[in-house]
Structure 1
């Protein structure tokens, strides 16, 4: 594992109540030499094996997906996160995320196969398996000798994962279980050798996980390949288990532990899904700007039109924020794992708890980056105009492939509610102090606002103050909602989703600003001029979203004087002293990207 610098490491979710110093965030500019070498190797593989054969994926060439997975295994990419004693490279969490990032942009088909195998197909055994299970299965998965799949979803159990009807019955001699049931939307089903299967024993409240080898002679049959909007060469089938015999030693963790396995596997899957969307955004921006520089209308390159510059700038700012937040969270997880190992935890325990600690951030990233890549692809089609709607250009495939990202690993609606719900639970456990800061915000609302003119002479001094004020908006909304509804808050989904949007925008905007501030201090402000513009542009939009969602929330639960006071506070907390000229910001960003003819940050 990569060494970690000493820093003030916040617990998951604490970003909302504490200020983070720019020196304490990790950025892509902090990649080690080893990580940059891995990045280059992965990018070369992606260009050679994936991008160059895009048509084969679009034509549902499942065999080629499997062939590329085998090659990825031979190069060690499937085992980046797997400890060396089980045939992997034993690299840190940042390197795992980096690999997922740069291997994923050629096509969503391979990205899905890769993510399903390395994440939810392999990690449950690595993190929850017995030593015997790990020795038997993980080396085969790490090298690509076998491929894995994850059988959780059923016709009646999607977002409510714990409601599955698949059953496991213990044999009379106590040596095996018989599994019966139906699973659907199973990625890699067509070529996998191993399933992670979730089933219920008797009338247990929670499901149980099993390691099941794929053997058609053992009561396992499959439906035909699904015809999907996107990710067309990702093998997706229904899987049927009919008296499938599984040895008792293949139970994963303990009885009734399946729901916990599923949730923690999804935490890892969520941040990896965010990473898998990043290079897709870079590639879409690069492809779009090259076309815009070549395409002429009215004797003018369309990249010179203001309407196109807006799109290039907004796409770039979103991609930059997504990168910044994803690698910030990745390093926090890696450092938490290292901290736990230093305290005596096994790597297995440390990684489980390290990722679980930042489940809030994982959900935030999953939502934000999956929506940004969809918007990016949509604008990419618009820049291409009619050609963007044609299969002859890569934009329509990018749009179709991006659409699934908002659905799997938990829908974005579920993840929005989950992020706020987890934060409230952390507060109740004393892991994040929401009550104290929320009370201070209430006191501030009752007090007289300061009319002093602040000194904004330093880089981002006003922007960082605005971030702190946006945090007050969240505390005001969340505090008021908890006070009003208490334990019944979960029933108010629209309110939770609005609060989640505030939380998401704060984390993403703050991450972009901290990254740029850190790099400006070490490389000079002049070198970061465009990054400064992107950070300011992203924050400007974040403020608008926070104001809109804050107003929606306050009106939904507050009345009379309380409502008026909170709305006045909202206006105060979302007001700039010096509004940025976003037209100039967009011009600056677009001109840089046009000049480089690529996403160049």
Structure 2
């Protein structure tokens, strides 16, 4: 099979009905020499410019954020995803994820400023702008000469982004649009040079995007800096437009195209937000391990206590799994972008379609990794004990900064429902064949189960067999729910959330196992001992979550014989042939982390 055909076979959401060969997934161990050099460059930048100034970031030093962002622009980090013709580096999607990953770990203030500028501030113009717009604005944004912000949210328009009240009216001479309205929670507002603003023309169904230069003399005023739980040095203000005149040539894309721009920007933002939580986890794990190794109680380092070892192991497992899934999806997106370009699409068209194809995975990652980061920082506080609650220790700020990630880019509740909703729509369009596998699972429920003992001689073969069975759980629950409710399924939010949790756990668990299997093939079982333990441990925890969510879902719509049949199937599909020793797995992982005195994977 040619590379092109193989890539064509990989579509967003298909992981739930297709088997993936470990050789086909991209892992952090696959970084090219160029990507490794970029990672080292970003790490050096963070350790020099951000880490020594963490106290200043916590004290709302907005000027420092602007200064660091400008230096990041000089280093080329702001233009990694921007084509070279607009003064960017023109690197691939995986490289853009990598930079976002490693520049975001030390403080949420820079993570937010970076994400807002490079993602929703720069990319809408890069992907939707006219050639004149791109030449005028993108080089300045790519180099850090100018900074961007994104004005979508309003007091009455949050998750329902298309309900904004900000108005745009064509002036009598036809040369300008006059914008009036209020935007809130605008990241980078205090130091940005250009806004991407969404407003409604007349009674249009959908909003329209505009590129608006930040000129206070042109009817733009701002509220004071918001007082926030975390991300203290991320400039966040309300922005008011009062008869703000915008040249007609500054409309972004076409009239009524704003909602599409906003949704596609969110897809990119979701997978990048997952990346932004990865190095934050690594750093918290390393700090917590350092403390646990140094802190003695009862004449013993607390790192030797089982309760602490459990925490360190679980923190490391989630970080490893998050890395595995994030870079797997990033490479799938990059492959799709390359395929589109080979078919003749422009960079902008290919980028948009590439990310849109994997919108399901983007939502999955946003939810899973943001929640893992919150759990990681919470356990970090617990390991530090009373000191963890002090602002003088690093965990308190990490916990506060992590909290916003579950709200950014669409709340996790919204993203959970989107993931399943988008998968069902893909199935209806014929892009993912859910119907036949779901029917096959239905038939399996009424058949006599096989009592043959499978061959699990290959490393992680039993775990991959369990993943296949867990996919049947999703198909059983989601297939029955779709059959019962049809288009009205979207009204059953709690059922959607339960189904989504099943989908999320499958993708994350499978990604970790595939990464480990790939690395076993190029090293050895012994060298991947801890990675095997992490993959097994995560899958075990995932199977318990899936069992609970499936029971909840089944009980919400099935009764009598149908319910009994599905619960019997659930028991069959979540049963281990050989139950792993969970405590031993945790000990294996904790030994590696505490001996390395850092996140070592």
Band of TM-score, shorter chain: over 0.9
Secondary structure at the counterpart of residue 536 of structure 1: helix
Contact 2:218/2:244 (<8 A) preserved:
yes
Q: In structure 2, what is the equivalent of residue 473 of structure 1?
A: 473
TM-score relative to the length of structure 2: 0.99
Q: In structure 1, what is the equivalent of residue 208 of structure 2?
A: 208
Superposed CA offset, 1:174-224 (max 9, x none): 111000000000000000000000000001110000000000000000000
CA distance in 2, matches of 1:374, 1:532: 24
RMSD: 1.0
Contact 2:108/2:402 (<8 A) preserved:
yes
| Count of matched residue positions in the alignment of Structure 1 and Structure 2 | 599
CA distance in 2, matches of 1:487, 1:242: 42
Q: In structure 2, what is the equivalent of residue 110 of structure 1?
A: 110
CA distance in 2, matches of 1:442, 1:105: 45
Q: In structure 1, what is the equivalent of residue 433 of structure 2?
A: 433
- 2:262 maps to 1:291: no
- 2:270 maps to 1:270: yes
Q: In structure 2, what is the equivalent of residue 598 of structure 1?
A: 598
Contact 2:7/2:335 (<8 A) preserved:
no
How far the C-alpha of 1:7 sits from its partner, in A, is: 5.7
Secondary structure at the counterpart of residue 237 of structure 2: strand
5+ long unaligned stretches in structure 1: none
What does 1:346-365 align with in structure 2 at a 5 Å threshold?
Answer: 346-365=346-365
What does 1:444-593 align with in structure 2 at a 5 Å threshold?
Answer: 444-593=444-593
Contact 1:8/1:24 (<8 A) preserved:
no
CA distance in 2, matches of 1:309, 1:455: 33
Contact 1:9/1:24 (<8 A) preserved:
no
Q: In structure 2, what is the equivalent of residue 403 of structure 1?
A: 403
Contact 2:7/2:336 (<8 A) preserved:
no
Question: Structure 1 residues 374, 4: CA separation in 2 closer, same or farther (over 3 Å shift)?
Answer: farther
TM-score relative to the length of structure 1: 0.99
Contact 1:7/1:24 (<8 A) preserved:
no
CA distance in 1, matches of 2:301, 2:582: 22
What does 1:157-168 align with in structure 2 at a 5 Å threshold?
Answer: 157-168=157-168
How far the C-alpha of 1:172 sits from its partner, in A, is: 1.2
Secondary structure at the counterpart of residue 122 of structure 1: helix
Contact 1:93/1:331 (<8 A) preserved:
yes
CA distance in 2, matches of 1:4, 1:305: 52
Contact 1:9/1:332 (<8 A) preserved:
no
CA distance in 2, matches of 1:214, 1:430: 45
Q: In structure 1, what is the equivalent of residue 248 of structure 2?
A: 248
Q: Runs in 1 of length 4+ with deviation above 2 angstroms?
A: 3-9
What does 1:58-457 align with in structure 2 at a 5 Å threshold?
Answer: 58-457=58-457
CA distance in 2, matches of 1:457, 1:423: 34
Secondary structure at the counterpart of residue 437 of structure 1: helix
How far the C-alpha of 1:9 sits from its partner, in A, is: 4.7
CA distance in 1, matches of 2:328, 2:453: 33
5+ long unaligned stretches in structure 2: none
CA distance in 2, matches of 1:295, 1:9: 52
CA distance in 2, matches of 1:289, 1:187: 33
How far the C-alpha of 1:525 sits from its partner, in A, is: 1.0
How far the C-alpha of 1:555 sits from its partner, in A, is: 0.5
Superposed CA offset, 1:401-453 (max 9, x none): 00000001000000000000000000010000000100000000011101111
Contact 2:186/2:237 (<8 A) preserved:
yes
